[in-house]
Structure 1
Amino acid sequence: MNITPTSGPHASFHALLSGFSRFGATAAGGIHRPEGTPANGEARQFMADWLKQRGYRLVVDRIGNMFGIVDFAGPDAPMIMTGSHIDSQPNGGCLDGTYGVVAGCVAAETIAADIRAGRLAPKANLCIAAWTNEEGARWQPSTLGSGTYVGDFKLDYALARRDGDGVSVRDALSEIGWLGEDEAPALPSAYVELHVECGPVLERRNLRFGIFKRWWGCRKIELRVDGAPSHTGPTLMSERRDALLAAAQIITAVRSFVDLVPKDVMHSSVGRIEVSPNSPNVVPSRVRLFIELRSADEKVIDDAYARLEAKIAETAAATQTQMEIERDEYRRPGRFSDSLAALAEDAARDMAIDVLALDTIPAHDAVRLAPFTPSIVIAVPSIGGLCHTPLERTDPADLALGLDVLTNMLRTLVTKGGV
């Protein structure tokens, strides 16, 4: 049985995580806190209040990224960054993203106490980041805030993204009061992100800690299918231009691509479908599909994309529809910092913890930062491998373990001034 501690950093961690979990809480035990919603604004305010109460400097940039800066070593010192995100999937879980932010906050307090007690001589400052729209649930692309921070996206482009109701990022952040005006801090000397695994590997191996050493590539495609509306009763089957029928053939094709390569080498999905006019008595005239092709092997993704293009042309001709790719985002596979991976291994070894090297199949904000500064994602198990669901859970003892490893890593980085 796990007993929640009543004092010390672990108690502070569980209290802070519980505090965040109030915002957007659902009856199923999860949270509904997509970016730019009132619940997201409340969680942002909760974080801001926590930072200010401790005298940390809050910076909110023009895409709404939040940075809590802890001045350990003076204004000219390098900066170490940690964090994640506090937006959620619709009806998602309490840990995905929020865990890394909360752990970063508590780790900062522990390190600050060490410095005050004279146990630590810092050479770097610390920054806790909460990135905007990591999930990509409301606006695409995902990791929008961190991508804007590193220059992958222009600010005007990011702010102009619109959700399914036509609401822009700019308008939503303004509505909840979190469209910032500050200049974002410079790139850190290192970025460490703590996360729940969002997969089953650690639990199945009976291990408690993993290091993501590389990330899978992902091609995200938004496909528009245009047919023609007509009455579902009298319109002859041979004369229908059914956009949903055509879309269904694309969906099954996307799934079939996985069977053409070795097991677990590729993942594919169509996770969102928008149908118009979405009436039971009207032949669907427009459909949008949100398609994903994921693999650690670029050639596998490229081959699947070529098959998709061929299938689009074939299906459009057969169904008398028109198809157009409206968005094509390609995040190539890559590797995280070997030096930070070694630091994570050392921190775990000092705690007598076995370590497993992992791939991250979903993206994290660290993926955006990795080409620009040493970055790493470390992880603790997800019970049942579940994520993006109210059933998302991690053993409290494993959550505390991840906090301890993160704290040890950040303590070393702050003391050394970087990797």
Structure 2
Amino acid sequence: MNKKNRKKMRKFTKVIKRLFLLFLILVLVGFVWTYVKLSSLNNGNESTATAKASLKDPINILIYGMDNVPGSPASRTDTIMIMHYDPKTKDTTLVSLPRDTKISQDVYEPQVIGRTAKLTEVHYDSQLAYDINTARDNLINTVKNFFGIYNINYYVSIDYSGFSSIIDAIGGVDVVPKYNMKYHDPVDNLVIDFDKDKKYHLNGEDALKFVRWRKNDAGIDSGADGSDLGRIDNQRYFIDCLINELSSPLGMIKTPILISKGCQYVKTDLPANKILIYALSILKSGSDSLTSETLKGTTKYVDGADYFIYDSTGNKEIIDLLNDGESESTVDINKDNISIKIINCAGEDGLAGKLKEKLANNYGYNRDNIITKTGSSLEKTSSIIVDSSSSISDFDSLCDEIGIENISTKSGYDSDITIIIGNDY
């Protein structure tokens, strides 16, 4: 190579080095900007109800969307789900919690609404009675205690008023509706009009209509059941479409715009470094590693309101997954056939009924086999008596479930388990 060519090569190499240095600076600036933006999400948003986890451990993140109630200072949680992520398998499971789930009053006793709360109303009722931070923590604790989930590690709350802006920021989302969606509400000036199996590119306004749709106008069949479960199915589908959009090369480029917009409407106690690590891992895995589940139960009209009645026995597999494969209960019995008598000898009304709801809703005992009564005299000490002819052998787990440590076995009782509630309960 002659002197002239060597000079050109040195000049070219110098340009390449400068371009590479410029690229590194831009990447560093972009990373710092992203980190600072994400750090603002958990600034002052720590919760005492969550249990932080290391990056190597599976995590449960409670995600909920807040819908402002017109004329009220409080918000209902319109969409509630738990995202379970396992860093070892890279699998993500979204578990939708029906918003109309009937919450037993021993888990959450309403302060304002004056009746047994639905899951969607826990945040609303708590915010009216206290403040938004207490509402958040009460919601997290209610989810843990009612469904029997050991830990919620982090939370993410999304203000629905900013949902449209976030979708617009990424340029919209492609969907193909699974149902005919035809709904008109002249009071709210709301028109939802999507045809089944037709491809749409939804902007922010239409995306909000899409995820909030539940049923059609009277006389128009959609193919969905018209309950909250149909809306959950639709929302899960939209999340799949959103992840596909974000995991595309173009979606990756739009990430800074998404972060900038989303930070205005999102609160979380996830630290910035974990947001980046979890988000990149989930997006890299794509929708193939994402599965969705909905809790099982039945809808029922109770005391003037429509409720979703949670089936603890039918959801054991899902709850075990959220608890990393550990069963909430290890009592070695067939709970469907166990008879229980609860005698309230504490002198305080309602304790036997609350314990009955706890055993039925949280631990899978057959509600029809639980009877309650008021004792004829007061007792200082609570106790559990197991009939010696029963098949119950795991007394430690039984005590944990009932919340009473004093246990004994005796013969001649007309129930497999007799629970006496005393003043110490």
TM-score (norm. length: structure 1): 0.21
TM-score (norm. length: structure 2): 0.21
Of structures 1 and 2, the one with the larger relative CO (CA 8 A, separation 6+) is: 1
- In terms of Rg, which structure is larger? 2
